[in-house]
Amino acid sequence: MKDKSVLVIGGGVAGMQASFDLAEAGIKLCLVERTPSIGGRMAQLDKTFPTNDCAICILAPKMMDCYRHENIEVLTLSEVIAIEGDIGSFKVKICEKPRFVDAEKCTGCGDCARVCPMGIKSKFDMDLRVRSGANVPFMQAVPLIYSLDRDKCMRCGLCESVCGKDAIRFNQKPGIVERDVSAIIVAIGFDPLDPSGLTEYGYRRYDNVITALEFERLICAAGPTGGRVIRKDGSEVKRIAWIQCVGARDTRDNRPYCSSVCCMYATKEAILTKEHYPEAETFILYTDLRCFGKGFQEYVNRAEGDYGVEYIRGKPGEIREKEDKNLEIFYSPTSDKVEKLEVDMVVLSTALIPSEGVEKLAEILGTELDEYNFFKLKDPYNPTETTRTGIFVAGYCQAPRDIPECIAHGSAAASRAMEVVLGGSYDRIT
Amino acid sequence: MTESLRIGVFICHCGTNIGGVVDVPVVAEYASTLKNVVHAECNLYTCSSDGLECIKSAIQEYELNRVVVASCTPRTHEPLFRATCEGAGLNSYLFEFVNIRDQCSWVHMHEPELATEKAKDLVRMGVAKAALLEPLEELSSDVIPSAVVIGAGISGMTAALSIAKNGFYVHLIEKEREMGGLLSRLYKLYPTEELVDDFLEQRIKTVGGHERVELHLSTSIKNITGYVGQFKVILDENGAEKSIDCGVIIVATGAKELEPEGLYEYDGKRVITQLQLEEKLRRDALNVDGIKNVVMIQCAGARGEVVRYCSKICCMNAIKNAKLIKEANPDINVFIAHNELQAYGEEYELYYRAAKKAGVRFLRFPREKRPKVRTSDGKLIVDVFHDRMQMNIPLDADLVVLSVPLVQNPDAESLSKLLKVPLGQDRFFFEAHVKLRPVDFATDGIFLCGTAQGPKDIEESISQGYAAASRATIPLAKGYVRSAAITSSVDEAKCVGCGICESVCPYGAIAVVETEEGRRARVTGVKCKGCGTCGSSCIKKAIEMHHFTDEQLIAQERAAFVIEAVVSG
């Protein structure tokens, strides 16, 4: 009997969960990840709410479980370029981009990275660190295989000369991989919104206005500053404010939805700031405090009561930069007042939006997106079924949800794929 | 031990990752001087295929019966090295890992000499423990290929159907006479405004009609014994006792509305709950009662009033009911007094906007100034302190609707005891990990979904139902469960049956039983995770942890301080 298998697109926490469940149930699958490592957005976070667990510490074992599983084939630096067929017999074409490193030989020692003279901004570290042209995105990357940036490479050959395993391959070409699968799960996650277009906040114009994901890298002990939250001039923060709903619940760019996770991650980031700098003053400016999940209200109570995080209701109308590069935030707490809050750093809790390339992928898959580019469900009470039979969706790319919800959604999509593969059920389930 | 010890030690450079700080050849040289070590070598990368080949051939060539690798972390590499030993014919538990990357070259990168000394210490300790390692076997046991799902609300129905579709038999157990759970008492769903009756009818038909779903209505659970793969569930089905064997269990027992006794002048007539309102809406009773003003109060009993948590669904549920009233009867004034408004996600924010557009009025009160309900000349008045205007607004009300939180069912306590799974501080069932394992219990083979885990809406309850189905299908599809070799065992001659171990075991894996010799603790190997909690709490030192025996750990610790004893002379 021919092995029936599944394709999972996206190696973030939802895609990994779906893959792991399927693999454990004895189903072979191919996990396709666009970047050099699985792990997704969660790998970029410092801690997670509401338990303040170290994100990568709890994620890394899951990444290894996936990668080492005998039923999972992980293809990194890879993208789906075409599919044919139907539920039960999809034919998938995947493009594997060259790493310029022999994946079999590379042991991830990093000798190549230490000699490479190139300096390139690290996307993983939100451009806050300069990395070399031979790179793994982060220390716990899975697979731990280096890749070279050939676009910017000067071909000096230093990496080749130091590599003890003779693993450098300057002439590697892209490869096309074809797989037959019975079902497909899409779990391509989200991107943070670039808030430069929302001029009232001064992002990129003002020195000390950053985004929440940039903050995660700064506060992370393994990040570019070793956990120091520093301003552009190198000084550490003393008064810091988070601004909620930046680009979210906002009809200007047709983004009326709530990103669902920002109130809680801002609360977490404020708590972490207090843990790093007990003397610092922290403010969260919000519209509605959305602390609806398990243990969330209790977490906010702790932030307020134990850590002294100050919650202020009011969405800023404007931020001004002073000469000393401090920032003045203007907001209106009641209908007859405008107040000013001066801080030395502003963190923007930006809307989370569907990942770049989602439209192209949806076109390849033949699935519909909704008007905000999230994957559309055939039926709102069938939370993993896309508009195309046999293609399921998991995680944030369907709608905003937090990590445990993404994991449950990943497992849910896995069960739907199991219905196809184990149960031979090709009909729509109500 | 009759065989002579022959230990091989492999020290990894990891390129320059370890080798750049720790003097690896010196550590290897030192290792070769240690007692029982017959071979020591360094590898550029022990984990590379060349490195693994070195381990294999050394096992053959030097007849090694213990292997120590000093390299990175067991978290990522232990399975690889264990498998390599196994491949060369050595029991994989005769392998010991020493981490000289994280613990030496990384943390002491600026003190290379001291890092090298520490690496020697750690290797010496690893070798001392390795000398006492014993071969262990992983046992496997069969899984009965069927599931029991407790609770036939929306999440339990979803889980049962998906497991059945995955090809396995399901017993769906419901204490009421019908399926549907709390949902069946609602009027319409948000945000689609689909009639609940239509929605449920179709699903009840599909689930109840599936050939692999066996329904047990009006049924309660009397007893549960066993472990993953081999559970026995005793039911009371309409007064008759029944016994079911199954491999996995899903808890989907749902939640109930808080009874707001003593809050906001609640009387069940003019001051009612949202669920009571839904029942009125089902009967179209608002017109009949000639109601003109409806005031809804959010967080009634929640977020610090009776329970600490936010109940997640009440804002949207209130918005739905308010919108439905307003659309059906535009003359009725509907106010929602709220603090924060939980219109999260993609659809709900839009639905909130639609309710505003329909004419529902929203008034925000500060969290510390909740609304008050009073009676004046027989009329109900709700005083709401308006946050933005900073003033009190008295609202006339013919009907006050309290948005009360979901709370745990009272019988959850006894179920949690039968299953030996925990409830959290909020009394909801407590999952294995808040972040990473939302539908698992720490105990293998038992899963949860829906509002039994905490308040959630229909869509999320369905999502969790499918998720629990996926998790539960894994052991069913495998057909076996492998028990870890690293478990605890009880020396019954030393055990006095005090039961401390049983009370501290988070997995229900150790229990005191009556034996011919008296009360003694016994371990169920399949349930044991080898955490060691029982061992460390045993006052009689009757419990031993395989692979982490007192003897092994003490030898390791002694080697940290008593250097001479372990260097071969």
Residue B358 pLDDT greater than 90, yes or no? yes
Residue A430 pLDDT greater than 50, yes or no? no
> Got the DSSP string for B269-313?
SSEEEHHHHHHHHHTTHHHHHT--EEEEETTTTTTTTSSSS--SS
Chain B environment of A399 (Cβ under 8 Å): 345-347
User: Rounded CA gap, B353 and B339, in Å?
Assistant: 17
What does the pLDDT average to over B68-90?
91
Query: Chain B neighbours among A 373-392 (CB < 8 Å)?
Result: 374, 380-384
**Encoding tokens for residue B120?**
């020697």
- Contact predicate B467/A409, CB 8 Å: yes
Residue A332 pLDDT greater than 70, yes or no? yes
- Point out which residues pair with A179 in neighbouring strands: A92
> At B567, is the pLDDT very low, low, confident or very high (cuts 50, 70, 90)?
low
The DSSP 8-state label assigned to residue B566 in this structure reads G
- Contact predicate B143/B247, CB 8 Å: yes
Query: Chain A neighbours among B 207-246 (CB < 8 Å)?
Result: none
What does the pLDDT average to over B388-394?
94
> At A428, is the pLDDT very low, low, confident or very high (cuts 50, 70, 90)?
very low
Ramachandran region, residue A119 (left: φ > 0; alpha: ψ -120 to 50; beta: rest): beta
Residue A372 pLDDT greater than 60, yes or no? yes
Q: Across the A/B interface, how many CB contacts are shorter than 8 Å?
A: 214
Residue B564 pLDDT greater than 70, yes or no? no
What percentage of residues in chain B have a pLDDT greater than 70?
Answer: 98
> At A109, is the pLDDT very low, low, confident or very high (cuts 50, 70, 90)?
confident
User: Rounded CA gap, A336 and A329, in Å?
Assistant: 17
Rg (CA), chain B: 31
Give residue-wise pLDDT tens across range A214-239.
999 999 988 999 999 999 999 999 99
Mean pLDDT estimate for chain B: 94
Q: Which residue of B has its CA nearest to A144?
A: B76
Q: Is A52 exposed, middle or buried (0-12, 13-18, 19+ CB in 10 A)?
A: middle
Chain B environment of A412 (Cβ under 8 Å): 462-467, 469-470
Which of A61, A298, A419 is facing B162, going by the closest CB pair?
A: A419
- Touching check for A166 and chain B: CB below 8 Å? no
Give residue-wise pLDDT tens across range A150-194.
888 988 999 999 998 899 999 999 999 999 999 999 999 999 999
- Separation in Å, CA B160 to CA A43, A415, A425: 34, 11, 15
Give residue-wise pLDDT tens across range B497-554.
999 999 999 888 999 999 999 999 999 988 898 999 999 999 999 999 999 999 999 9
Query: Chain A neighbours among B 339-398 (CB < 8 Å)?
Result: 340-350, 353, 387-390
Query: Chain B neighbours among A 46-75 (CB < 8 Å)?
Result: 48, 50-51, 53, 58, 60-62, 64, 68
- Contact predicate A137/A129, CB 8 Å: no
Cβ distance A408 to B388 less than 8 Å, yes or no, reads: no
What percentage of residues in chain B have a pLDDT greater than 90?
Answer: 87
| Nearest-CA distance B85 → chain A (Å) | 17
Q: Amino acid letter at B157?
A: M
User: Rounded CA gap, A68 and B550, in Å?
Assistant: 32
Chain A environment of B205 (Cβ under 8 Å): none
Residue B568: predicted pLDDT: 53
- Contact predicate B39/B62, CB 8 Å: yes
Residue A427: predicted pLDDT: 53
> At A1, is the pLDDT very low, low, confident or very high (cuts 50, 70, 90)?
very low
Burial B118-151 (b: 16+ CB within 10 A, else e): bbbbbbbbbbbbbbbbeebeeeeeebbbbbbbbb
Residue A146: predicted pLDDT: 96
Residue B464 pLDDT greater than 50, yes or no? yes
pTM above 0.80, yes or no: yes
E strand or H helix that includes residue B418: helix B412-419
Question: CA-based angle A292:A293:A296, to the nearest 5?
Answer: 85
